[in-house]
């Protein structure tokens, strides 16, 4: 019964809670019991808040019994990547540099989820400061629930793995170069990088001022819409937060896909020929056929500057990252993990001219993507070129050189969602990525929702 409760999608659990058929206290206990049984194998929680979570669950239950139901997140247990401040709770960014850092206030994301009635279970493992290794002086490597010898993905790996393993109902992560979508692909969950400025970053430890995004990771696209709805919108505490109006994401989810124009970035992800493994290509092609069956029209789209966007993104991301870390890097270099320290020191070689040139590439990329999105409604591609790799220490130079399916959407700020579209022969999830126009999360979530409704992939649970 505990496992059954832990795998309830948010939208189903919320209906049971609203009707009085499910107690928020019982649901929270089910998650806490499952965390206690399984997390010693998975290493996903950096901070667990059992007493606080149960206290919040009791308050939620009393409010609902007295007719003060707040909405679909009331009484739902969630967790956060260990970059999000929760008042009075340690926020480490998985680094010894912040070993003794305790938050003085809630991040806006945590505060808005709290206002919606969500219950905070704790903090989740990640890559150090969202750029380095997940194995640090403070914490050990998290493990993928589909196969414990495989990587959860970076850097929101704990957030994705906790959702797919049934250790929280939903989570929030951050995405600077693909850090929500890549682990969502590797762990088989729905991960959304909203439009830049759609979700406040106040109270979230930064990596890159102009590339960071906060977004939800869930089991279903419908759950993702619920999580986004709760936190989206302008925040005066975040100067990059957009005043653009927030639509009702749930109200459009069930609108048919007939006539939706889908652009496929096929030329980008099939060159060179051996870059994307055949199993991923086959799964994505089958998913595109399913979108056609659902009424979408499909055509190939080319973005010429994609060959340069990864380089430009790396220059911008790591230059801005170095700006944030330079003081601590000088004062306590020994407290940084070797991978992140190497990345930051390498980034010091970028010049002002490099940064300006990278911004010029960014401007061109925005023009080319918006031109493409005048003729199609969404863009699709694989999320990653392969399934989750074996756990190993990456080489810093590899992170700069490797091609990316995701970073161009951080560079341009366009919204993109990832969802499961199949499994490899080894039983590892494969991800499909759907991107759209600025502030049009509603359309990409609608496409993801209809695809999930038409396919069985999201029903499978990991053998943990």
Catalytic residue numbers read 81, 155, 179
Name residues whose C-beta falls within 8 Å of residue 418's C-beta, 6 or more positions apart in sequence. 180, 181, 184, 185, 190, 191, 192, 383, 431, 432, 433, 434
Q: Going by C-beta distance under 8 Å and a sequence separation of 6 or more, which residues neighbour residue 58?
A: 24, 25
Q: Give the CA angle between residues 74, 80, 82 to the nearest 5°.
A: 155
Give the integer Cα–Cα distance in Å for 221 and 450: 9
- The neighbour count for residue 330, using CB atoms within 10 Å, is 8
Angle of helix 441-454 relative to helix 278-293, nearest 10 degrees, comes to 100
Q: Element (H or E) spanning 382, and its range?
A: strand 378-382
Return the closest-CA partner of residue 131 out of 328, 340, 355, 378: 340
Find out whether 369 and 412 touch, Cβ atoms under 8 Å: yes
Task: Write out the two tokens for 32.
Answer: 């806490």
Is residue 75 within 8 Å of 64, Cβ to Cβ?
yes
Q: What angle do CA 245, 246, 248 make, to 5 degrees?
A: 135
CA gap 281, 289 in Å, rounded:
12
Pick the closest to residue 143 from 7, 48, 40, 50 (CA basis): 40
Q: Pick from 74, 2, 96, 81: which is nearest to 47 by CA?
A: 81
Whether the CB-CB separation of 154 and 132 falls below 8 Å is answered with no
């Amino acid at each position: 019964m505990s496992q059954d409760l832990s795998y309830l999608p948010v939208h189903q659990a919320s209906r049971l809670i609203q009707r009085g058929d499910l107690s928020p206290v019982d649901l929270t206990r089910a998650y806490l019991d499952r965390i206690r049984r399984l997390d010693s194998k998975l290493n996903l929680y950096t901070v667990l808040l059992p007493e606080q979570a149960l206290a919040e669950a009791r308050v939620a239950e009393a409010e609902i019994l007295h007719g003060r139901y707040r909405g679909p997140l009331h009484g739902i247990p969630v967790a956060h990547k260990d970059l999000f401040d929760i008042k009075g709770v340690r926020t480490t960014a998985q680094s010894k540099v912040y070993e003794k850092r305790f938050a003085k206030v809630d991040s806006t994301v945590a505060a808005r989820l709290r206002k919606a009635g969500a219950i905070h279970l704790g903090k989740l493992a990640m890559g150090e400061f969202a750029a380095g290794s997940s194995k640090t002086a403070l914490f050990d490597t998290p493990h993928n629930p589909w196969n414990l010898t495989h990587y959860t993905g970076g850097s929101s790996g704990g957030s994705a793995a906790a959702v797919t393993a049934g250790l929280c109902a939903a989570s929030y992560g951050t995405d600077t170069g693909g850090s929500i979508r890549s682990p969502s692909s590797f762990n088989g969950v729905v991960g959304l990088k909203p439009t830049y400025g759609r979700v406040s970053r106040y109270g979230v430890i930064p990596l890159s001022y102009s590339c960071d995004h906060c977004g939800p990771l869930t089991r279903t696209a419908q759950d993702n819409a619920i999580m986004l709805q709760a936190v989206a919108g302008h925040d005066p505490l975040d100067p990059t937060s957009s005043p653009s109006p927030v639509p009702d994401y749930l109200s459009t989810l069930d609108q048919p896909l007939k006539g939706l124009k889908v652009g496929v970035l096929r030329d980008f992800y099939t060159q060179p020929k051996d870059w994307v493994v055949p199993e991923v290509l086959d799964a994505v092609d089958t998913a595109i056929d399913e979108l056609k069956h659902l009424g979408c029209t499909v055509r190939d789209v080319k973005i010429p500057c994609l060959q340069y966007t990864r380089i430009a993104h790396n220059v911008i991301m790591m230059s801005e990252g170095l700006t944030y870390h330079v003081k601590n890097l000088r004062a306590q270099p020994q407290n940084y993990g070797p991978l992140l320290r190497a990345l930051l020191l390498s980034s010091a070689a970028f010049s002002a001219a490099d940064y300006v040139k990278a911004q010029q590439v960014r401007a061109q990329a925005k023009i080319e993507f918006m031109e493409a999105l005048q003729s199609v409604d969404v863009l699709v591609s694989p999320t990653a070129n392969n399934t989750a790799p074996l756990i190993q220490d990456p080489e810093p130079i590899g992170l700069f050189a490797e091609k990316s399916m995701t970073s161009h959407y951080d560079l341009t700020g366009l919204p993109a969602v990832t969802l499961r579209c199949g499994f490899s022969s080894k039983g590892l999830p494969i991800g499909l990525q759907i991107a759209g126009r600025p502030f049009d999360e509603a359309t990409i979530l609608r496409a993801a929702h209809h695809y999930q409704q038409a396919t069985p992939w999201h029903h499978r649970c990991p053998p943990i």
